[in-house]
Structure 1
Amino acid sequence: MIARLGWALADIAGMILGALLERLVETLRWLLARPSRMLIAGLILIGLIQHVALHRANDLAASRMDQAAVWHGKFRDQKAEMLKLVDLVRAARIEAARRDQANIARVQREWDANLSEVKHGYTADLADARAALAEWMRQGGGARPAGAAGRVADACLSPVPALSTGALRPGHTATLDGEQAEAVTVNTVRLEHLIDAWGRAASIDPNAQP
């Protein structure tokens, strides 16, 4: 039964294929009968080929346009992100500059305050040291007078003989005149307060938050 059905289908297919071949042969004979028909058929075939090619080209162009639109969208998004980054960097620079200015102002204020204290201390200590030196000189170079103020005056000044002039001879004791004692006193007090000012300046943190 199945074999008969297969042979029947094969016969039908053969008949259809034969009819198609016969129709094709007749068509070719009909076209060959007149060259104009062949020309028209060729033009129609070329038109169909061009139509297919144009359709494919349109599809390709549309695909590329869609891809270009996607790329343009991504580029636009990336540009927006870059602009945001630029704005963030600009804002960070402005904030850093503001903090730098604030730190500079803070450091300047602290330094001015410390410098003012050092100057006041220097003036007071120098006056006390000069007063102690004057008292010491009036006593002719003895021990530190009672009640003498100032860090320099706190040092025990060695007794020296009365003022004298001329070269120091072997076995003689050195003398100290008032001008020399004044210079030593001023330089000592100045050095102490310069060291104090340097220590105060070093203690200021330039990176601390204002």
Structure 2
Amino acid sequence: MHSATGTTKFDVKLDQSPVMGSNDAPVDLYYWSDYLCPFCQTFAMKIHPQIAKSAIADGTLRVVFLQLPNIGENSFPAALMAKCVWRQVADDDPDLFWKWHHAVFEQQGEEGSGWADIKNLYKITEDVGIDTDAITTCIENRQDKIRKDIKAEVTVADRENIKGTPAFIFYNRKTGTSKKLAGAQPYATFKQAIQTVKNG
């Protein structure tokens, strides 16, 4: 698992976004999500692990994780914390971000239950083993910059006519072939899309 730098063809700044997979992978998967989205939970818990064991593990796919906070009042604070968690762990232990990411989705509760309030997110962060003081410092000192980064990711989604989460764009970095998917589709659908774009 790697961090990355540069700006992609879709105007995504890689140094601001969690990345899973080889930077030499021929296919990028841009993945927009919201931690309050139940279908995002389904993808994160059931589909993403299968993709990680196949197309990511064999070097075919690089996943770039993007924020599209649009469900409820805690969507944006969760997105903000995710960015700070990535900043904290990207250089030394990027896998720890994905551990945090899955831990948040494991704790997802009913809409309006407050499960994703900042106190609970800090508890998850601490339980995963991430320095919560560093996260607080990031939120306090870098909030304006991170808000701009998230807004930029939302702008790309708007440009690509993405309205909900989870949403995905597969992109062949060599040929420019792309394909869009929406929702927590079955793993077989993702597998076919990856192969189609890889061969495109």
What TM-score comes out, normalization by structure 2 length? 0.18
Which one scores higher on RCO, CA 8 angstroms, separation ≥ 6? Answer: 2
Rg comparison, structure with higher value: 1
Q: When you count strand as a share of all residues, which structure comes out higher?
A: 2
Q: When you count helix as a share of all residues, which structure comes out higher?
A: 1
What TM-score comes out, normalization by structure 1 length? 0.18
